[in-house]
Structure 1
Amino acid sequence: MWPESEGRRGPNEVASCLFDYMKERSLQSVKEIHMFSNNCGGQDRNRYVAFALWFARNHLSLSKITHTFLEKGHTETENDSIHATIERATRRLEVYTPDQWYTAVRAARVSKQPYKVKEMTAKDFVDFKSMSNKVKNLQLVTMGRKLCGAEPGSLP
């Protein structure tokens, strides 16, 4: 989570959050990441998120990243349940600051472990947009083939 003063809600922020999560999991010796997304082009189905996944695969100790897009009209995920739980828990609260939101989200889940909240700041966001624009012929390819125009380690 982050306040509006630290970042927007676009594809670069989503890509940065995904990369941060994959980096954390990689440090825990996880080798495969399986993720599911809806078909929101503005947030998860775009070249910046695709580039972030490619970058993570080539710069972290991950052997496989599988990104599955759910069929339109059938995109309800666990995240929807999480958002509903948070909405119910905060419905009657007066929340004014980002710190209050972080606390409210952590406390929203009462029957199981609290939700884990990563407090993102501007320095946590990677500029995947600029990085991907340096790659020529960025395109989806068949399994087993490298992404055209870029080699691992060739980007900052």
Structure 2
Amino acid sequence: MIWTEINGKRGSIEIVSAIYIWIMKLPEAITHVTIYSDTCSGQNRNQYIAAFLLHLVHTHKTIKVIEQKYLESGNSFMEVDSMHSAIEKEKRFTEAYSIIDWKRIMQRARSNRHNKNVTPYNVTEFLYQDMIDVKALALMIIKNKTIAEDGETVHWFENKMSMI
């Protein structure tokens, strides 16, 4: 997923929009989804993502359970880290002046010129209208951000896993 700074930033709105596109492309037989996230509170570990996932479970026709697991900072590896590395390596050989240049770099970062058995990365461009206003959604869904239904204090930044 790629977008310009005109169309989005690097926060929960953009992450939710990418998750939504990915979820909508899943086969209908899928009923349980597990998402692994880093611990960046601005993007992944906050009430906006929780509200969106709750909304998705209640509105999606087949998905009934979504788990979001947070990796330990500094002690884990995500496949996306190798993607970023491959993209940065490819960037060394090409100048990038526009989003079109970046899309080509991303696609070449995993092309069959490096390995005959792989397909290039699928790069989807987001526009402003593709972004989901998750902050407005959170205001409607989560009435109390700090106290759970059982009366316990919610510690968003200490959460290791959410199951919705």
TM > 0.5: yes
SS, match of residue 25 in structure 2: helix
String of CA shifts for 1:63-117, please: whole Å, max 9, x gaps: 2211111122213211100000010011121111111111211111032111111
- CA separation of 1:141 and 1:44: change in aligned 2, threshold 3 A: farther
Which AA in structure 1 matches 2:17?
S
The number of residue pairs the alignment matches comes to: 140
Tell me the distance in 1 between the aligned counterparts of 2:149 and 2:74.
Answer: 26
SS, match of residue 134 in structure 1: helix
Comparing 38-47 and 71-80, the one that deviates more: 71-80
2:8 touches 2:14 (CA, 8 Å); kept in 1? yes
1:23 touches 1:56 (CA, 8 Å); kept in 2? no
The residue aligned with 2:144 is 137
State the superposition RMSD in angstroms: 1.7
1:107 touches 1:114 (CA, 8 Å); kept in 2? yes
| 5+ residue gaps, structure 1 | 143-156
Tell me the distance in 1 between the aligned counterparts of 2:69 and 2:149.
Answer: 15
SS, match of residue 137 in structure 1: coil
SS, match of residue 86 in structure 2: helix
String of CA shifts for 1:21-61, please: whole Å, max 9, x gaps: 11221xx2122211111111011001111111111111112
Q: How do 1:1-156 and structure 2 match up within 5 A?
A: 1-25=2-26, 28-29=27-28, 30-60=30-60, 61-110=62-111, 111=115, 112-135=118-141, 136-138=143-145
Tell me the distance in 1 between the aligned counterparts of 2:149 and 2:66.
Answer: 14
Larger RCO, structures 1/2 (Cα 8 Å, 6+ apart): 2
SS, match of residue 34 in structure 1: strand
2:52 touches 2:137 (CA, 8 Å); kept in 1? no
TM-score normalised by length of structure 1: 0.82
Which AA in structure 2 matches 1:44?
N
- CA separation of 1:58 and 1:88: change in aligned 2, threshold 3 A: same
> Which 4+ stretches in 1 moved above 3 angstroms?
138-142
Tell me the distance in 2 between the aligned counterparts of 1:140 and 1:109.
Answer: 44
